[in-house]
A and B are shown apart, each in its own frame.
Chain A
Amino acid sequence: MHALDIKLLRDFKRLWIQALAIAMVLACGVAILLTSVGMYKALSETRIAYYERNRFADVFAHATRAPLSLLAEIANIDGVMNVEARITGGATLDIPGRVRTAVGQILSYPEDADPVLNLPFLVTGRFPNALSTTEVTVNAPFARANGFELGDSFSANLRGQKRDLTIVGTALSPEFVYTIGPGALMPDNTAFGIIWMPERAAAAAFDMTGAFNDVSIALAAGTTTAPVIDAVDTLLEPFGGLGAYDRTTQQSDAFLDAEINQLKGMAAILPPIFFVISGFLVSMVMSRIITLERSEIGLLKAIGYSNIEICLHYLMLAALIAVVGVLVGWAAGTALARTTAWQYAQFFDFPFVIFRVSYWVYAASGLAALLTTSLGAMQAALRAARLAPAIAMQPPAPPRFKRSFVDDVMTHLRLAQSTVMILRSLLRWPLRSFLTSLGLALAVASVIAATFINDALDEIVDLAFYQTNRQDAMLLFADEIPEAALEDVRHLPGVLQAESQQFHAAILRHGHLAKRVAVEAHRPGNDLSRVLDAKGKPLEVPPGGIVLSERLAEYLEVQPGQSIDVEFLSGRRETFSVNVTALVELHFGLGAYVDFAYLNALFRQAPRVSTVNITLDTAQTDALHAAIKNTPRITGIIEMNENRRSFQDTIEKNILVMNAIYIVVAVLITIGVAYNAARIQLSERARELASLRILGYGRGEISYILVGEMMLIALVAQPFGWLIGAGIARMMTNAFTSDLYAIPLVLKPPRFTFASLVVLSAALASVMIVRRRLDRLDLVAVMKTRE
């Protein structure tokens, strides 16, 4: 091995703590890049493969009851490759050993052949026998969550007909990768299941013999969906078509898509921050090394080493740091990606997960790390290369300090000389002080960006469950019922309060923009499900007007005072021009509200109800569930407490992990920055501090100079960190917002305090570790050493 390479390795060994501190920051960037890109690739590739293998449809439509003869016409639409009709419907389920009712979505399973589209993936057992009226296959997560074995039975209320069903198999479906029940906010596999039932049995149960109410369509490659959707809508219109939609509106795919986009955003936003910080740290450390090794550089040049060899020598040192960072990052990233993949597999119901972080992701992350450290080291390495040998051999000139107005201020303030030393050093290297401060600010920002989500979710929960949806439960009906039935509901056991609610699928249009939403008919004075204005006051929707959620208005580019076209997909399927009267902030879904009486008048019908909101006497919950199980028209009950609990459980688990990761990351950044900065400061000031000791300063007094400077920088960093953190939080809320949900930007002082405490303590701990070296300062040796 060449002597220069030996020097390289020994230098690296000597600097290992500093190198490791930088390498860890770099490793964070590499690991996050690997995880986010790896997961992004895993999710999107798994999705593509799953959809392709199981022939996930491109266009979906529901109708009230369409004749099977219509299928041929749908198949004739340009671009349509395959059509499959199904019978679907809701059912309340009575699961043995479970007090609460569950909700099932029935899907018909074809009689003579396998399904053409949306092929269920059989996990255990088999599909139901075509002639059986009791056999069903259920989705595997539902079976698992309820502890079902093959051969187990449960009872289902199918439009008033109570029937015992026997599980003969479990399956997964590309339509239900993200399985969420009606009205639920999060998947709850105990309370919602998919049930494949033989076509004949389903037709009998839903009165659909010779007819269908659900159609899936596969398109030929390259076909645009819009014309097909229009054609399908035209064909289904006479049969109560509810408007065809493509994958982007298909619930499961939309959730999956939102998740994939989040990962993409994460891969783009976070890793660069870490790479930049490590680049800066490398630059800071290398620059100091070159200052210290000035005479060695001169010597190497005198011996005959070329500029390039010397430049490369120092770049190699940076490369070694990069190598360590990349290796740690690869290991951590692979483990993290694996864990996350496992978490995703739990969260999304895939029959398989294609998890392989491609070699190019490893290569790209390694290259990015190498590039940033090289760039960081470049300036210092070039300085080494450019150093004229004759000058390099001489000791460097003492740093130039100039008097400025700040000095006059300091004189005026009669600051202690040690404080003056701290302030002067900060001002002497303003760029370095600024960048050190910036590094610590990014650490603060990282904690804020991770923890603000807690407050955001608290606000979401508060708004969703305590302000707007204050009912204890929602009762869902198979069809709309006359509002008079409210009285019957009030007589159910445990019901204290009952209010009516009505939903209608509609397409809202403004100019060329259109969005399919559920319009909620809202009765003035309703106390359980409320519409709130920006100040949290209940908002009444005036007759003739419509209230939109902010995101929906933004999408449609419409302001209050303007009017939009509302094309109802149910009832008489009429289109009305309606004035937008107000906007409301909403975190789940894209809400649109009209007055209850106004809507029924538009539909020229007596008031009808599709959902009843109730408050409950909790002591009688069991009795209520028992009653519901025997009430044919009720197809489901959504308990808001359960809903909230499952939402909070799911989110909290994820948030907790995420918070922990980001706090570790922030601590690593802080250590990387503070430790290195303190080491450099110590190396520059060793002589100075030793001189002070000889002059009679105590250890505490010289420690004050070292610790004081670092902590002053850390303090200055705080407000910048808060600002950057708020900025990143804003970016995250924007990146995470989709049609499905919006994360509000909630920034509360305690999170800022917490972030500052984390970073200040980590900075103090780092500088205190360096400070210990002051105790071992060999005064005589330091004074003898030639700088």
Chain B
Amino acid sequence: MADIIFRTQGVTKIYDTGGVKVYALDGVDLELYKSELTVLLGPSGSGKSTLLNILGGLDHATGGRVWFDQTELTNMSDRELTRYRRDHVGFVFQFYNLVPSLTARENVQLVTDVAPDPMPADEALGLVGLGKRMDHFPSEMSGGEQQRVAIARAIAKRPQILLCDEPTGALDSATGVQVLEVLRDINDRFGTTTVVITHNAEIQRMAHRVIFFQDGKISETRVNETRLAPSEIVW
């Protein structure tokens, strides 16, 4: 079995909205493994995104502990979390979150400017099949292309982990498959540990490991013996 890259122990996240306590995460124990592609599956509000934010160093847990490799993230300061994100984590979001005033290449450069050992922006865009669209602005690209720019931006720093929050959520089926193929390709080629959040049950078929969420808890963990290629997935 591969090495553990993420480990959480009784992680809770409570949102206090005007005296009402909402348990976004309610004691999550989890292990994720190096180079695996894991899919987190569950309905809206089940806690997937909250967990992803905590793993990615975007948010603090209310209780419990989180480890990345040998490093404990739980009590890191904002500054240390920034460092952690900068050095190790790549993010892909549902709404791409590209900076509209920057071209595809410049959006990727946002990352290569600050990462310690990045690949050239052109190379990253080449990897996602956008070598010829590098000087286009987000407004001049389709949704699928924009999401591929976002992926190029995430992988350009050669991250150890790639965290994707509903990467196909805003895309139609055919475009979504293209994006998934890029993610699968990166995972295969570089062995980047990839976590994909989705509420599209079909996507679980391409994962090494599938974790089911329900009401802020893990309800089931399943390991796929055979994985499908993204092109075989339809929804």
Contacts and interface: CB of A to CB of B under 8 A. Distances in A.
Interface in A267-305: 295-296, 298-305
Nearest to B54: A390
A304 B109 contact: no
A306 B107 CA distance: 17
Contacts of B78: 307
A303 B86 contact: yes
A4 interface: yes
Nearest to A2: B113
A3 B59 contact: no
Interface residue tally of chain B, by bracket?
20 to 34
Contacts of B182: none
A601 B172 CA distance: 112
B102 A7 contact: yes
Given A298-B97, A299-B93, A390-B53, A3 B110 contact: yes
B93 A393 contact: yes
Q: Decide if the interface of chain A is mainly helix, strand, loop or mixed.
A: helix
Contacts of B97: 295-296, 298-299, 393
A301 B50 CA distance: 16
B99 A296 contact: yes
A11 B85 contact: no
Contacts of B79: 306
Nearest to B106: A3
B82 A4 contact: no
Contact of B91 (A4, A14, A303): A303
Nearest to B114: A304
A298 B110 CA distance: 13
Contacts of A14: 101
B56 A302 contact: yes
B95 interface: yes
A389 interface: yes
B222 interface: no
A3 B115 contact: no
A304 B102 contact: no
Interface residues of A, number: 26
A786 B58 contact: no
Contacts of B85: 301-304
Interface string A1-34: 0111011001100100000000000000000000
Q: Decide if the interface of chain B is mainly helix, strand, loop or mixed.
A: helix
Interface in B77-95: 78-79, 82-83, 85-87, 89, 91, 93, 95
B111 interface: yes
A300 to B, nearest CB: 7
A363 interface: no
Contact of A4 (B53, B83, B113, B153): B113
Contact of B107 (A3, A307, A388): A3
A301 B91 contact: no
A55 B217 CA distance: 94
Interface in A646-673: none
Interface in B102-126: 102, 106-115
A301 B82 contact: yes
Nearest to B113: A2
Contact of A2 (B59, B86, B109, B153): B109
Contacts of A306: 79, 82
A290 to B, nearest CB: 14
Interface string B157-190: 0000000000000000000000000000000000
B56 A3 contact: no
Contacts of B86: 303-305
B84 to A, nearest CB: 8
A304 B112 CA distance: 11
Interface in A300-331: 300-307, 309
Most A Cβ at <10 Å: residue of B83, B93, B113: B113
A7 B109 CA distance: 11
Contact of B111 (A303, A309, A388): A303
A301 B78 CA distance: 10
A208 B58 CA distance: 98
B95 A3 contact: no
A306 B80 CA distance: 10
B82 A3 contact: no
Contacts of A305: 82, 86, 114
Contacts of B99: 7, 296, 299
Contacts of A295: 95, 97
Interface in B30-61: 50, 53, 56, 58-59
Contact of A307 (B82, B91, B102): B82
Given A303-B86, A306-B79, A388 B113 contact: no
Interface in B18-35: none
Most B Cβ at <10 Å: residue of A6, A302, A305, A390: A302
Contacts of A388: 58-59
Nearest to B81: A389
Nearest to A388: B59
Contacts of B95: 295, 786
A389 B163 CA distance: 15
B204 to A, nearest CB: 24
Contacts of A300: 110
Nearest to A307: B78
Nearest to B95: A786
Given A7-B99, A296-B99, A388-B59, A304 B106 contact: no
A4 B110 contact: yes
B115 A304 contact: yes
A785 to B, nearest CB: 10
Contact of B101 (A7, A299, A304, A307): A7
A388 B56 CA distance: 13
Contacts of B101: 6-7, 10-11, 14
Contacts of A307: 78, 82
Contact of A6 (B59, B89, B91, B106): B106
Contact of B102 (A3, A302, A309, A390): A3
B59 A389 contact: yes
Given A3-B109, A298-B97, A786-B95, A303 B56 contact: no
A278 B207 CA distance: 56
Contacts of A393: 58, 93, 97
Nearest to A14: B101
Given A14-B101, A299-B93, A299-B97, A304 B82 contact: yes
Given A301-B58, A304-B83, 9 more contacts: A6-B109, A7-B102, A302-B85, A302-B89, A303-B111, A303-B114, A304-B111, A305-B86, A306-B82
9 contacts: A3-B102, A3-B108, A7-B102, A295-B97, A299-B99, A302-B89, A303-B153, A304-B89, A786-B95
Cβ-closest 5 pairs across A and B = A304-B86, A3-B109, A10-B101, A390-B59, A390-B53
